[in-house]
Amino acid sequence: MKGSELRIEVVVVLVLGVLATASYCATVTYDHRALVIDGKRRVLVSGSIHYPRSTPEMWPDLIQKSKDGGLDVIETYVFWNFHEPVRGQYDFSGRKDLVKFVKIVAQAGLYVHLRIGPYVCAEWNYGGFPLWLHFIPGIQLRTDNEPFKAEMQRFTAKIVDMMKKEKLYASQGGPIILSQIENEYGNIDKAYGPAAQKYINWAASMAVALDTGVPWVMCQQDDAPASVISTCNGFYCDQWTPKLPDKRPKMWTENWSGWFLSFGGAVPQRPVEDLAFSVARFFQRGGTFQNYYMYHGGTNFGRSTGGPFIATSYDYDAPIDEYGLLRQPKWGHLKDVHKAIKLCEEAIVATDPKNVSVGGPNLEATVYKTGSVCAAFLANYDTKSDATVTFNGNSYHLPAWSVSILPDCKNVVLNTAKINSAAMIPSFMHHSLIDDVDSSEGLGSGWSWINEPVGISKDDAFTRVGLLEQINTTADKSDYLWYSLSIDVTNSETFLQDGSQTVLHVESLGHALHAFINGKLAGSGIGNGNNAKVSVEIPATFASGKNTIDLLSLTVGLQNYGAFFDKTGAGITGPIQLKGLKNGTTIDLSSQQWTYQIGLKGEDSLPSGSSSQWVSQPTLPKKQPLTWYKAKFNAPDGSNPVAIDFTGLGKGEAWVNGQSIGRYWPTNISPTSGCPDSCNYRGPYDSNKCRKNCGKPSQELYHVPRSWLKPNDNTLVLFEEIGGDPTQISFATRQIGSLCSHVSESHPSPVDMWSSDSKAGRKSGPVLSLECPFPNQVISSIKFASYGKPHGTCGSFSHGQCKSTRALSVVQKACVGSRTCSVEVSVNTFGDPCKGVAKSLAVEASCR
């Protein structure tokens, strides 16, 4: 490496400034300021979309919406256990078609950051590692261990070779401009001792030697070797500086747009004002590459969740929601932020940032100026107080916790706390499952069922003395492991005389268990995301003679994060005791000869719904544990996204036409406290700050991709663990209930007007704009309109004492019947209902 720039020969393809079909020689390099593509430093905005968390049919729309939102790059992990569930047996079909995903990104004219890992974390089962790694003799994961390094190199090379074969690296004319090796190892590397640095040095050398022709990054690895780029992950990275700052650009590989949902937890949300603030501060303080984790979160289909206790929804409060619809105003406001930053790109990449004093605490002005090019960022990072600052002889008002962006060092194009984009209130329209089946079928014939046997029912059951750890026993082939024991109490006066007082004590590493005594459910216990362990004491009555104790232990996703996470166990490791016997004695059953069964009898054949074993009778068993249910249904009309509302059921897994939509658990309720009535975006965000949905099921609605549905004759299969009523479940289609916007007279004019205004030498005022979310919709009505001092938020606006009598009619005339409309927010439009008072316009509309 010479000087401060690492040069890597590549070939890129340009279309509309990014990619095209004809390639030519160029270079991708990096220096201390930015990635350099074809000799030009670039400011790049990226977003994470994980291909397995959506469907191939969704990919083009998700990627186009990302491009429309101002992204330059799509980032994805590569999920090792998804592609190689059995060593040497690869699967890249369907949702696993990584090559297809990358090519769709290229077709949209965007770049790709391929984070191979192959450890990914990502709230994904076992951190993305295939569990068979665990059983390789002598292996230790993520350290200087030869068996592990051999497997890691083999898979990494497999992916690189696959990309090369399809000519997908930029060096071959493809879209991949970055790759990542390892992932957030710096957070936990101290636990691995001196071997950690040897491992990191090896990983970097191994990756670079694969000769991809593009730079490699290591996130959260400040001591990464000089041959790779160290990057930052977190809610904020403006204060972070890379090691070797004279050689490496400041890059942010994970700006967490929200947070993941856990079963038993409230729903996290991150205010867009804060997210926008974090982005602007990063570029203000010298950053040039920023990635949203996530831009579209998606769904944890099947048994892909990690954690444990990660929910099936991986919505992440991302700009594009779980169903593929725009989350507004988050998507729209960030789009404006991206446009504003791109207006500053020429200045940002030309020089280093320089701070300028504007006086006062918690205020910072940063200037990028070279020759006639100048851009500035004015920040107020006070958590409570607004401020007025003087910069270049002009006065600027800065709301608390906000950044104003000045592409010409004079005029504000955007303030991160002032949102011009309209908000949308999502809603779900429910459809009865039974109404959707053939009308000739009644309730009894619409549903059929099969009882899952309690205890041992499969030929491959086996016995062992003592208690077995679950993951080592099942190899994660199933969530379920039966522990069964038969005890004879005929000659035990202790049981017979005082059996009603007996307590069965069971301790488990997690994640949940159900105890059956003589075939009847006697009690259950569950862990949680903070402590997966389970300890239960269950009253037990034993009959004279032979009695059975059947314990069903289950996992809810395997550990995915932390030092030595792969060694985290699960299952019933004891003790198992009978307490409260006559004379206070205790019998320990832990060392008895137990019989084990991996998985459920029905798992092998029932999810497809094609088995001949299904029972159809007029009386449907309800609220009965260990029951399989099947129903036929027609898909809801239209093209809106579809979900199943599992209200009425307990816990289990669901399949639609043989495809697992994931675990459902509507009886796992979030805490009753911890959700504020309103969320104050000001001040540092953490994942507990702005939660919602307290005291309610963590997840009630479960995404069913439209591409998995046929118009008619679809099959729904459920396995219900703890008992419920399947006739209560319903389908729901995702709708947009209302469209809202609230714009004040102090808002900057729309970012889109900046260039034309600059050329014309004028300055436009603020504008309220509305746009229906679907192309075939128009604004059908105005539910609310007020100019003056309106209060509230979308869905609950109210008039203030100061209001214009013309607001409703003006907005109706401008908007009703159109898909989009814009209204100037000024006294020229509405008159002046209260002179000398700062005013705003609030509107709520409906689209049809």
3 state DSSP class of 99: helix
Contact 264, 529 (CB under 8 A): yes
Q: Which H helix or E strand runs over 202?
A: helix 195-209
Sign of the C-alpha dihedral computed for residues 738, 743, 748 and 753 taken in this order = positive
- DSSP track, 781-801: EEEEEEEES-BS-TT--B--S
**Contacts for 396 with CB less than 8 Å, ≥ 6 apart:** 378, 388, 389, 390, 404, 412
**Cross-strand pairs, 714:** 633
Based on the residue annotation, tell me whether 57 is a catalytic residue of this protein: no
Cα atoms found within 13 Å of the Cα of residue 323, Cβ hemisphere only:
22
Tokens 């949209």: give the residue: 108
3 state DSSP class of 282: helix
Based on the residue annotation, tell me whether 254 is a catalytic residue of this protein: yes
Contact 126, 558 (CB under 8 A): yes
Smallest Cα–Cα separation from 186: which of 138, 153, 234? 234
Strands 306-307 and 558-559: parallel
Smallest Cα–Cα separation from 74: which of 152, 11, 19, 21? 19
**Cross-strand pairs, 267:** 692
**Catalytic entry in 151, 254, 345, 771:** 254
Q: How far apart are CA 338 and CA 276, in angstroms?
A: 9
One-letter amino acid for residue 235 of the chain: F
Q: How far apart are CA 736 and CA 325, in angstroms?
A: 10
**Cross-strand pairs, 363:** 380
Contact 481, 553 (CB under 8 A): yes
- DSSP track, 60-118: HHHHHHHHHTT-SEEEEE--HHHH-SBTTB---SGGG-HHHHHHHHHHTT-EEEEEEES
Q: How far apart are CA 70 and CA 73, in angstroms?
A: 9
Angle at 421 between CA 420 and CA 426, to 5 degrees: 145
Distances, alpha carbon 69 to alpha carbons 61, 338, 380, 750, in Å: 12, 8, 26, 15
Angle at 378 between CA 240 and CA 73, to 5 degrees: 55
User: HEC profile for 630-671?
Assistant: EEEECCCCCCCCEEEECCCCCCEEEEECCEEEEEECCCCECC
Q: Which H helix or E strand runs over 448?
A: strand 447-451
Q: Which H helix or E strand runs over 446?
A: helix 443-446
Q: Other C-beta atoms within 10 Å of 183: how many?
A: 27
Instruction: Determine whether 92 is exposed, middle or buried from the number of CB atoms within 10 Å of its CB (0-12, 13-18, 19+).
Output: middle
User: HEC profile for 312-355?
Assistant: CECCCCCCECCCCCECCCHHHHHHHHHHHHHHCHHHHHHCCCEE
Tokens 């289609």: give the residue: 733
3 state DSSP class of 156: helix
Respond yes or no on whether the N-terminal peptide bond of residue 118 is cis (omega within 30° of 0): yes
Cα atoms found within 13 Å of the Cα of residue 720, Cβ hemisphere only:
27
Respond yes or no on whether the N-terminal peptide bond of residue 206 is cis (omega within 30° of 0): no
Q: Which H helix or E strand runs over 46?
A: strand 44-49
Q: How far apart are CA 716 and CA 631, in angstroms?
A: 5
Q: How far apart are CA 435 and CA 96, in angstroms?
A: 35
**Catalytic entry in 182, 184, 452, 603:** 184
Q: Which residues are catalytic?
A: 184, 254
